[in-house]
Amino acid sequence: MSADRPDSDSSAPDARPPSQERQWLQPTAEMDAPTDLGRTSALQAAQSPAITRSILVVSALFLVVLGVALAFVPWRQTVSGSGEVTAYAPEARPRTVESRISARVADWHVVEGDEVAKGDTVAVLEDLGSSYLDDQFADRVAAQRTNTLNGLRLEVERARQKLAQARQKRRSADEKVSNATLGVSTARTRLARIEDLQDNGISSVRDLETARLKFRKARTDSVAAAADLAAARRAVESARLNVERKEQKLEAKQAALSRKVGNARERASNAIVRAPISGTVSSINRVGPGQIVKKGTTLATVAPKTDDRAAELFVSSIGASLIEPGRQVQLQFSGFPALQFSGLPDASTGTFTGTVRFIDPVGDGSGRFRMLVVPDTSATTSWPSPKYLRQGAPAKGSVLLSSVSLGYEIWRRMNGLPPQLSTQQGTAPAK
Q: What does the pLDDT look like over 227-241, one tens digit per residue? A: 888 888 888 888 888
Q: Which of 131-140, 179-188, 265-274, 342-351 has the lowest mean pLDDT?
A: 131-140
Amino acid 322: pLDDT: 87
CA distances from 246 to 242, 252, 416 (A): 6, 10, 80
Is residue 255 scored above 90 in pLDDT? no
Amino acid 2: pLDDT: 41
Amino acid 429: pLDDT: 36
In CATH, the architecture of 94-120+275-303 is Beta Barrel (2.40)
Average pLDDT over residues 46-59: 73
What percentage of the chain exceeds 70 in pLDDT? 82
Is residue 428 scored above 50 in pLDDT? no
d(CA 277, CA 291): 25
Element (H, E) at 9: helix 8-11
Whole-model pTM: value is 0.56
d(CA 142, CA 146): 6
Helix (H/G/I), strand (E/B), else coil: 238: helix
The 10s digit of each residue's pLDDT in 92-149 is 889 999 988 888 888 888 988 899 999 899 988 887 764 545 556 666 777 777 888 8
Is residue 410 scored above 60 in pLDDT? yes
CATH value of 73-89+306-414 in 2.40.30.170, 3.20.20.140, 1.20.140.10, 1.20.1050.10: 2.40.30.170
Mean pLDDT of the chain: 78
Is residue 82 scored above 90 in pLDDT? yes
Amino acid 14: pLDDT: 47
Amino acid 210: pLDDT: 81
For residues 403 and 425, the answer to whether their CB atoms sit within 8 Å is no
> Among candidates 370, 354, 355, which has minimal Cα distance to 313?
370
The 10s digit of each residue's pLDDT in 289-336 is 778 888 888 899 999 988 889 999 999 988 888 888 999 999 999 989
Give the full edge-to-edge strand order of the sheet including 115-116.
95-98, 298-303, 279-284, 115-116
Q: How many residues does the chain have?
A: 431
Per-range mean pLDDT, top range of 149-158, 250-259, 348-357, 414-423 = 348-357
| CA max distance for the chain | 240
Higher pLDDT, 263 or 276: 276
For the chain, domain boundaries: 8-68, 73-89+306-414, 94-120+275-303, 137-268
Highest CATH level, class, for 137-268? mainly alpha
What percentage of the chain exceeds 90 in pLDDT? 15
Amino acid 39: pLDDT: 52
Q: At what angle do helices 406-414 and 50-71 cross, to 10 degrees?
A: 80
The 10s digit of each residue's pLDDT in 180-230 is 888 878 888 877 877 777 777 676 777 778 878 888 888 888 888 888 888
For residues 211 and 194, the answer to whether their CB atoms sit within 8 Å is yes
Element (H, E) at 349: none
Q: 40 falls in which pLDDT band (50, 70, 90)?
A: low
Long-range contacts of 319-322 (CB under 8 A, 24+ apart): 319/79, 319/80, 319/81, 319/399, 319/419, 320/79, 320/359, 320/363, 320/369, 320/371, 321/418, 321/421, 322/79, 322/399, 322/401, 322/418, 322/419, 322/421
Higher pLDDT, 267 or 156: 156
CB atoms within 10 A of CB 307: 10
d(CA 179, CA 183): 6
Amino acid 372: pLDDT: 95
Higher pLDDT, 154 or 368: 368
Q: 248 falls in which pLDDT band (50, 70, 90)?
A: confident
Is residue 44 scored above 90 in pLDDT? no
The 10s digit of each residue's pLDDT in 7-33 is 444 444 444 555 444 444 455 544 444
